[in-house]
Structure 1
Amino acid sequence: MLLILSVVAGLILTLAPSPIQAYVRFPDLPDTYVNDLAKVLDYPQREQVRSELQAFHQRTNQQVLLVTIPSYRDYSNQHPSFEAFATDLFNHRGVGSRWRNDGVMMLVPPGDRKVRIQLGSAYGSGWNPRMQTVIDRYMLPDFRRGQMAQGIMNGVRALLNELGTHQLTTSGSTVPSTSTYASTPAGNIITGIFIVIIIVGLIILIPFIIVFAIVKFIFNLFSGNRPQPQYRSRPSYYDDDDRYRSYSSYDDSYSSRSDDEGGHSSGGGASGSW
């Protein structure tokens, strides 16, 4: 009887389902503008979107990052919602400026049939309805027709237009500010005196410089110490080869991240599903 009970207990332990292991990991997002891990866009479309995002970044200093992944559940089974995963992914990647927190991330996991526009913490709650309009009007209609790439491209353009149309103003931004000099009568008098001193100093100093240069030239001429021509050393191989030059993130859109990246999101944005 004991032998039978031992065998039955062993079978129960062997066949019982093992507890699900918890996991949270985030995808590697090396590109500054487009990380199409789900392969939604073809090469020309990907380069077109990257070009538009890079041009916007250079013009406004705001980073917009496009990310596609097959499913967010491939990376986490601990996040209570898609929105929570998007917020943590934004903060893990550090989208946008660490000082202004003005970055924006568009996340599309086709396997989950969801889309999220995640905003940096500098954007107020008034931006959430604008992002919802971008999703509902310019992305979801194409997604429902199965035109994923077209929906993403339309959404990116509508998003950039929305960001460029409305000025970002918030009291929560931690941008280092510099104090401006207030113009007052006393300040104008001090500024005028300072300018006069500079002009008088230049008038006195310039003749001395000219006389000194003439005397030095005559001395070198009669003493035989003529200035020797300077020869520039031959440039090395690495100076002539562009492959060994370093580029900033503005020169190379494929760089991992710029020094100013590291923005934070408080969870603002909008979502959609189809």
Structure 2
Amino acid sequence: MKKTFKLALIAMLLSVLLLPSLSLAKPAVPKHTASFYVNDFADVIDTKTENYMVNYGVRLHQKDGAQVVLVTVDSTNGVSMEEYATALFNSWGVGSADKNNGVLLLMSIKDDDYWAVPGKGLESTLTDSKISKILSASLEPDFAKKDYSAGARKTYGALVQSLGGTYTETAGSKNYVADNAGVLPKVTKDYLNQSGNRYQPTTRSGVYIVTVKNSGNQSLEDYTYAKFASAGAGPNDVMLVLDIGGDNYHALQGKNIDGILTNDVISRILTTELEPQFAKKNYAAGATAAANAFYSFFLARADHVQETAAAAAKPGSPAATAGQAVKTASSPVKIEELKPMSVSKAFTIMGIFLIIILLISVAASLRNRHIALFGIPVNPRSPRNVRRYGTWYGQPGYGAGSRWYNRQHRRRRRPVPHHSGSSFWGSSPEDSSYTNHGGGGFSSGGGAGRYSSSTDDEDDNHGGGGSSYGGGAGRYSSDDDDNDSGSSGGGGSASSGGGVGRQH
């Protein structure tokens, strides 16, 4: 009896403890974007700012494995900022696996809040107090004004620099623009040149922009091919030529990248970014948008490019020996999405659990009542028990054992006169043992946010990020990819794929 009540009490206590954990939904973690370092799901960061942040995020990672990752979402859908940021951090594996030196900055636009969570390895160097100061100084002023790009850029830089990375530098002076048609203002040419000199060391690829009034007697494709060689473009570069007089454009990629930056990829970039502005004769905006898109594509693969270059630089490596690029297989990191448990499902589980407890309690109550009346745990006058165990003559142990056992071993006895005050109760039936099993999990957070107080508990996070491959093409050319790869017919740096132009 006591044991039954103990079991019921334990079960009820477990139900109370399990209810909050079952009712709360786990955050559904999205897959990261191709760039990994900037994941603008809320679409509040402009491309220029995103490229700038990704560039220095890659640089920091190549320096010592540290990573700073920015995530913007519309809303966390009721999940706390700390829990959502921690789930993203652990699912994506921010930072290196051995150092746990990553930082993830989450900005939730509709929730009007933000949170930064550091890796376990940064407890002593990037404390919650230091993160809170960075957020207050770099993010809060612009975030309050809803200037998310400006705030993100400043905060990302502060976090990169706090981990020993660089965020500003004097760019080179190489010229990536030839405005022969005179349609690009100085500010546009300066930006395109600065972008080329800033991103080429990271991506190993540059974007050349050429404008002409007319390509002359030769086709625009032939003109682009000749210009590619004369401008000194390399096998990892891409050139975009705008034929203003001929109302046309053409893009050509180097032979080392035509297997990744395919004609189809180029076509999508030109159609999406260049064509809308080119059709309105807004050539500066179109050239800038196309160049930004090309650099976004290259920056999303910069980690892989840097690792390949590092391997090629090692003495004795095949690339260093033969002077060829090292090709390694890579694939996007696959992240399994955590499915949330709905509140209705949680209460359904709890309802079933409580019904089981209720049935156990009712059975225990009936058992105790029968013991009080008859001295045995069952009702001997029940037709079911008579059929199952036979007629009760006051014998002890009635109701114990299986139906088959009682049929084989019950003794048929003559009725014994019942005398008031006399007792036929013997030893009580053997008690059954019950063992309950449970399970659970544990998670910890940390960091600092906009309104919530900071704590010193950080997650034991895992490192290693990844990027995926994407694509694009142009205005008048077809999307046939049969000639996307191959060696150059003229022995130069341009690909033999012919490139991509404006589609008629």
TM-score, length-scaled by structure 1: 0.54
Structure 2 CA distance for partners of 1:139 and 1:21, relative to 1, 3 Å? closer
Are the equivalent residues in 2 in contact too, given 1:113–1:273 (CA < 8 A)? no
Task: Give the one of 52, 56, 64 matched to 1:60.
Answer: 64
Q: For the Cα contact (< 8 Å) 2:139–2:151, is it kept in 1?
A: yes
Q: CA deviation at 1:29?
A: 0.6
Other-structure match for 2:276: none
Give the 3 Å change call, closer, same or farther, for CA 67–252 of structure 1 in structure 2: farther
Compared CA separation, residues 121 and 58, structure 1 to 2 (3 A)? same
Q: Does 1:251 pair with 2:305? A: yes
Partners of 2:24 and 2:448 lie apart in 1 by 30
The aligned counterpart of 1:94 is 93
Cα distance in 2, alignment partners of residues 266 and 26 from structure 1: 16
Tell me the distance in 2 between the aligned counterparts of 1:122 and 1:107: 19
User: Which residue of 2 is the match for residue 269 of structure 1?
Assistant: 447
- How far 1:272 moved relative to its partner? 1.0
1:33 alignment partner in structure 2? 37
Do the aligned residues in 1 keep the contact of 2:96 with 2:102 (CA within 8 Å)? yes
1:98-151 CA-partner distances (Å, limit 9, x unpaired): 222111111111111111111111121661111111101110011112211111
How has the CA–CA distance of structure 1 residues 57 and 22 changed in structure 2, closer, same or farther, with 3 Å as cutoff? closer
| Alpha-carbon distance in 2 for matches of 1:68, 1:54 | 19
- CA RMSD in angstroms comes to 3.2
Inter-partner Cα distance in structure 2 for 1:22 and 1:84: 11
Question: What is aligned with 2:326?
Answer: none
Partner of 1:149 in structure 2? 149
Q: Which secondary structure does the structure 2 equivalent of 1:249 belong to?
A: helix
Shift of 1:248: 7.3
**How far 1:243 sits from its partner (Å)?**
3.7
Is the Cα–Cα contact under 8 Å of residues 121 and 266 in structure 1 kept in the other structure? no
Q: What is the CA-CA distance between 1:82 and the residue it aligns to?
A: 1.6
- Quote the Cα distance in structure 2 between the aligned partners of 1:69 and 1:26: 11
Deviation of 1:32 after TM superposition, in Å, equals 2.4
Write the distance in 2 (CA, Å) between the matches of 1:151 and 1:26. Answer: 24
* Greater fraction helix: 1
Structure 2 match to 1:129 = 129
**Aligned length, in residue pairs:** 169
Structure 1 residues 93 and 242: alpha-carbon distance in aligned structure 2, compared to 1, 3 A threshold: same
CA contact (8 A) 1:123 1:268 kept: no
4+ residue stretches of structure 1 with deviation over 3 A? 20-24, 255-258
Q: Is the 8 A contact 1:63 1:95 kept in 2?
A: yes
Greater gyration radius: 2
Matches within 5 A, 1:192-207: none
Segments of 5+ residues of structure 2 without an aligned counterpart are 1-22, 166-254, 261-300, 308-330, 335-442, 453-504
Give the share of equivalent positions with the same residue, in percent.
30
- Runs of 5+ unmatched residues, structure 1: 1-19, 166-239, 259-264
Alpha-carbon displacement from aligned partner over 1:226-264 (angstroms, at most 9, x marks no partner):
xxxxxxxxxxxxxx653447x7734289x7459xxxxxx
Aligned residue number for residue 84 of structure 2 = 85
